[in-house]
């Protein structure tokens, strides 16, 4: 997002896509790449992941009708995540202290 620091853009994305509000960490937890399907081709996307200490999930948010949300433990989430790079970042969540 133009004019916004990366961690603040991640915080906004979390709000828009999952309706979660919390305290975002300024330092990334890691990065991973994946192929995103476009209209005419696939595009390699690089994602930087920031820790977010979630304080609440709103009942209404921008993309609510486009998403299914479910709260999972780290162990449950890593079983479901197919992207290896993201799975590795999520696996480390159990070892990262919460953002203060």
* pLDDT > 70 fraction of the chain, expressed in percent and rounded: 93
CB 57 within 8 A of CB 63: no
CB 4 within 8 A of CB 54: no
What is the pTM for the complete model shown?
Answer: 0.82
The alpha-carbon radius of gyration of the chain (Å, integer) is 14
CB 47 within 8 A of CB 6: no
Domains annotated on the chain, with CATH: 6-95 (3.90.79.10)
State pLDDT tens for residues 40-85.
999 999 999 999 999 999 999 989 999 889 999 999 999 999 999 9
Give the number of other CB atoms < 10 A from CB of residue 86.
Answer: 19
């Amino acid at each position: 997002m133009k004019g916004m620091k990366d961690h603040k853009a991640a915080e906004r994305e979390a709000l828009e896509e999952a309706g979660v509000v919390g305290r975002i960490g300024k330092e990334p937890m890691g990065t991973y790449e994946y192929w995103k399907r476009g209209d005419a081709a696939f595009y390699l996307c690089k994602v930087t992941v920031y820790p977010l200490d979630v304080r609440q999930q709103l009942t209404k948010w921008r993309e609510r009708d486009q998403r299914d949300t479910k709260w999972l433990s780290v162990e449950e989430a890593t079983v479901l995540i197919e992207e290896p790079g993201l799975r590795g970042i999520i696996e480390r969540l159990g070892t990262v202290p919460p953002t203060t």
